[in-house]
Structure 1
Amino acid sequence: MRRIDQLVAGTALTLFASAASATIIIDNNTTGWYNDGLGDLAETYGPLSSSFPGAGVSEGDPVVNPLPEPDLSLTPNLGNWLGADFTAGTWSGPNTPIPGSWTVNDETAIVYQFILDKAASITVDIGVDNGIFAWINGNFEFGAMASGGSSPGEYSFGTVLGAGTHYLQLLREDHGGSTGYDIMVTAVPEPATLALMGLGLLGMGMARRKS
């Protein structure tokens, strides 16, 4: 009985070590494509836009989480960025340093390219002053805005991606008196995620054996 329990415990520790191996694939030092030629989209879309409040918080300082995908059909200088085409618009890259601050009351766009050797669970942690909209491979994933400055991990979302080349596409929104930005993206290989589930099942089995 004791030997079986030791074997189960040892297997659980092995699975836990595998499941905990998250790799940082994007952080504040990661370069990418950068676009600071969008201007103040509050002027483009008008005072009724929920995605781009007026400059200088003239329309309040909203806290909205989550936000729906914004209408970008009138946005200048973007081109087909959600299709990973940067030949049109005001893009610099693909190895441009991404600044943590930008022109107050303007919007900026960022694209990071990353490659996965195998399927993985991706977690995106972002801090921003004031708002953020995020797509992965052109598919909308998350949007939110709030008052106050940027703090690491202010917003978080995740997804599972297969092996291959991927793009994280971000639109940063500002309507206040300052800007700020932090990012951390991690990947956990899918077998490790499954191992974490197995760890839970093993724990249940041990509890049943003891009872």
Structure 2
Amino acid sequence: MTFRSFIARTRVLLGATALVLAGLPTAASADVVFQSVANPTDVTKFTSPWCSSCSNQYRIFDQFTLGSASSVTGFSVALYSLAPYWGSGLNFSIWTANGNVPGTELFSQSLGNADFTTTTLTGTALMATTDKVSGLNLDAGTYYVSFYNTNLAVWGYTGGGGNLLQQGNTYHTGTSADFILTNNVPEPASIALVGLALVGLGVARRRKA
């Protein structure tokens, strides 16, 4: 094959790839790793927004169990939306389960407001969502998750599968935090873009040869 015919075929391939890309989604999709309640937007199941500030004495925890090893790249959580309880981000952390209480902190990441998108659920509740979690890989097992800052209140949800703990205060029996842990995976368009880059690299190398 001559270099000229190789370039012509490559152009055809690149054009076909561009057409495929035009018809594919470009964003990543979020696989659910864990969901604490059946319907996260069912506000009729909300009980009270539990304070995690309260002179910095309390931290909200909830228990969750993974059936298999998983990566977590994001989460959603229902929060009390009125100022000053929401407006300065939060600290997201994962802890071992030491019996019925949190044990050792395994992971911690502070996220600002700009790292979240929010959806209004009621006049006093919002769902805060982020895909900015990095470096969190968990084995199968039971853990505690915490959402915290000095001005934050996490909505309790009745009928969920968790075990909401207000550290320094009490367990709220029969109450879960309303949260989802997610893992963002590339859509086909992202994979195709990688393939396109490899094709371009091949062309460059052929030209040098």
Normalised TM-score (structure 2) = 0.40
Structure showing the higher strand proportion among its residues: 2
| Structure with more contact order per residue of length (Cα contacts < 8 Å, sep ≥ 6) | 2
